[in-house]
Amino acid sequence: MTTFPENLHLIDHPLVQHKLTLMRRKDASSNTFRTLLNEVSMLMAYEVTRDMPMQDIEIETPLETMTARVIDGKKLVFVSILRAGNGILGGMLSVVPGARVGHVGLYRDPKTLTAIEYYFKMPHDMHERDVIVVDPMLATGNSAIAAVERIKELNPKSIKFVCLLTCPEGIAALHKAHPDVPLYTAAIDRQLDEHGYILPGLGDAGDRIFGTK
Ligand code: URA
């Protein structure tokens, strides 16, 4: 039996599972796929930000003054792995609108499946921030590993990784390279195929979000 790392969080809420099933169907249009991904991302954000630091502030209610808790959204950075990660960003930002955004551009060499970086742009003062890296598919793990490696060079306070779907190979690879990075996913599928696609999966997430196939 496969055992998974303790810092793997499977988000198996019925709303998430239902929407994911609709997304997997090959006849879902790009518009439907994008809308569902946006909704699932909001629901996943709820889980991933559960332990966000909070601070007390004084506010006035219509009746009296009170001390109430707020988050400091600016301390959070969502890092999108281009291009499919952008499909998750909108949903996450609608839940934490004050968050900053970074982008990592990586493409998979079709022969070796290794990740090659072509773009890297992060907010300033990364050492003061908590990072949530987003990419819908954690497949071979190569892009995730390379992205996290680059982000670690900037010494952020913490890094989490969020995907919609993964597989045992992706989980093992990411955990081996970055055992300190908690992984959040809505599903663990059966396996990778010889082209690095997740089975049964949902196909190429970027193509499905942007209608490029
Ligand atoms: N990337 C995708 O978009 N889909 C997969 O199945 C694997 C990697």
Q: What is the pLDDT of residues 77-116, one digit of tens each?
A: 999 999 999 999 999 999 999 999 999 998 878 788 788 8
Instruction: Answer whether 137 contacts ligand 1 (Cβ < 6 A).
Output: yes
Residue 160 above 90 pLDDT? yes
Residue 62 lies in a domain: no
- Residue 138 structural domain: 8-49+73-210
Residue 65 lies in a domain: no
Domain count, the chain: 1
Q: What is the pTM of this model?
A: 0.94
Q: Residue type at 77?
A: V
Mean pLDDT calculated for residue range 117-125: 96
> In the chain, what percentage of residues exceed pLDDT 90?
89
CA of 140 to the centre of ligand 1 (A): 9
**What is the CATH number for 190?**
3.40.50.2020
Question: Under a CB-based contact definition with an 8 Å cutoff, are residues 156 and 132 in contact?
Answer: no
Confidence bin at 72 (pLDDT 50/70/90): confident
Instruction: Answer whether 117 contacts ligand 1 (Cβ < 6 A).
Output: no
Residue 146 above 90 pLDDT? yes
Residue 58 lies in a domain: no
CA distance linking residue 133 with residue 161, whole number of Å: 5
Confidence bin at 171 (pLDDT 50/70/90): very high
Residue 172 above 90 pLDDT? yes
Q: Which atom of ligand 1 is nearest to the CA of 206?
A: 3
Q: Residue type at 164?
A: L
Residue 22 lies in a domain: yes
Name the phi and psi angles at 161, rounded to 5.
-120, 130
Provide the pLDDT for residue 213: 82
CA of 194 to the centre of ligand 1 (A): 12
Confidence bin at 127 (pLDDT 50/70/90): very high
- Reading the block at residue 146, the tokens are 């390379």
Provide the pLDDT for residue 110: 78
> In the chain, what percentage of residues exceed pLDDT 70?
100
Provide the pLDDT for residue 74: 77
Instruction: Answer whether 81 contacts ligand 1 (Cβ < 6 A).
Output: no
Sign of CA dihedral 17, 130, 54, 38: negative
Residue 3 lies in a domain: no
> What is the overall mean pLDDT for the chain?
95
Question: Under a CB-based contact definition with an 8 Å cutoff, are residues 97 and 108 in contact?
Answer: no
Better-predicted residue by pLDDT, 66 or 75: 66
Q: Is the peptide bond before 200 cis (omega within 30 degrees of 0)?
A: yes
Question: Under a CB-based contact definition with an 8 Å cutoff, are residues 132 and 162 in contact?
Answer: yes
CA of 201 to the centre of ligand 1 (A): 8
Residue 55 lies in a domain: no
Residue 196 lies in a domain: yes
Mean pLDDT calculated for residue range 38-61: 95
CA of 97 to the centre of ligand 1 (A): 28
Q: Which atom of ligand 1 is nearest to the CA of 199?
A: 6
3-state secondary structure of 34: helix
Query: In b/e form, how buried is each residue of 57-91, taking b as 16+ CB within 10 angstroms?
Result: eeeeeeeeeeeeeeeeeebbbbbbbbbbbbbbbeb
Residue 149 lies in a domain: yes
Closest CA to 202 of 162, 164, 145: 164
Residue 1 above 80 pLDDT? no
Lowest mean pLDDT across 55-69, 77-91, 111-125:
111-125
